[in-house]
Amino acid sequence: MAYTQRKQEIINLLKNSDEALSIDLLCDRIYASRSTIRRDLIQMENEGLIVRHFGAVSLTPSSSKENTAVYRGLENTEKKTAIARSASTLLHDNMVLFLDSSSTASYLVPYLSSHENLTVITNSIDSALKLNSAAGVTCFLCPGKVKHNSYSIIGDFACTFLDNFRADLAILSCKAISPSGLYEGDDAQAMIKRHMMQQAEKTVALCDSTKENCQGFIRLCTFQDIHLLISDSPFSETVTAAVKEAGCSLITGDRV
């Protein structure tokens, strides 16, 4: 089993446990040697995914702050795939798009390659690298500060750079959703996304249903600021009512 597969198995085991798991238990469940598991755990701790204790490990405690890029990339992959598939129907040739550095928005990248004369402005290093081989896409990567443990560019340089463009759509995600709007766990990321929204004709928010159970300490926007919200499944009645009352279109499920 490759490292990526073992890493996903370890994450799944820890998510389903209410306490730290011993290294011996991980070895038994994953059928790997103690030295292999120990090597994996050291790398996972460096990636910000887990915390090692004496002979045991646990997931990095959740908080209002932004998770690492590696952790976000492993979360809710099926939900993000469904959301991207729905959002892809909004795309057509000759568009100009803002794309934020969220892992959810990155799932849309493969769909961009099938279009012609697209212009994409992003603060995601990962998305920019993937778009480098797309013949029909011109990609601009924001200058600025590389956020620690992230493939994301942030800061004043990036915000000023975004102000040089006008886009058809700003496509972004968030840390959390509540009846009062979308929230972020990082003020620098919130500033980038707000500049994208200000410079776009319309804003499309990609938000999987688990975000309602998350927390963010800074409000990114209200639902009045969003034209379309796409999720994999319905939100609670209170969030759904707030979205509709604001006049924001809501799509839940793998369709548009």
Domains delineated in the chain? 3-61 (1.10.10.10), 71-252 (3.40.50.1360)
User: In terms of DSSP H, where are the helices of the chain?
Assistant: 3-15, 23-30, 34-46, 69-74, 77-87, 103-106, 109-112, 125-131, 156-162, 187-198, 237-245
Helix axes 23-30, 34-46, angle to 10 degrees: 110
pTM flag (> 0.85): no
Q: Tell me what percent of the residues of the chain surpass a pLDDT of 70.
A: 91
pLDDT confidence bin for 65, thresholds 50/70/90: very low
pLDDT confidence bin for 61, thresholds 50/70/90: low
Please state which of the ranges 83-97, 223-237, 240-254 shows the lowest mean pLDDT.
Answer: 240-254
- Whether the pLDDT of residue 5 is over 90: the answer is no
The secondary structure of residue 51, as a DSSP letter, is: E
Mean pLDDT of the chain: 88
Work out the burial of residue 254: count CB atoms within 10 Å of its CB; fewer than 13 is exposed, 13-18 middle, 19 or more buried. middle
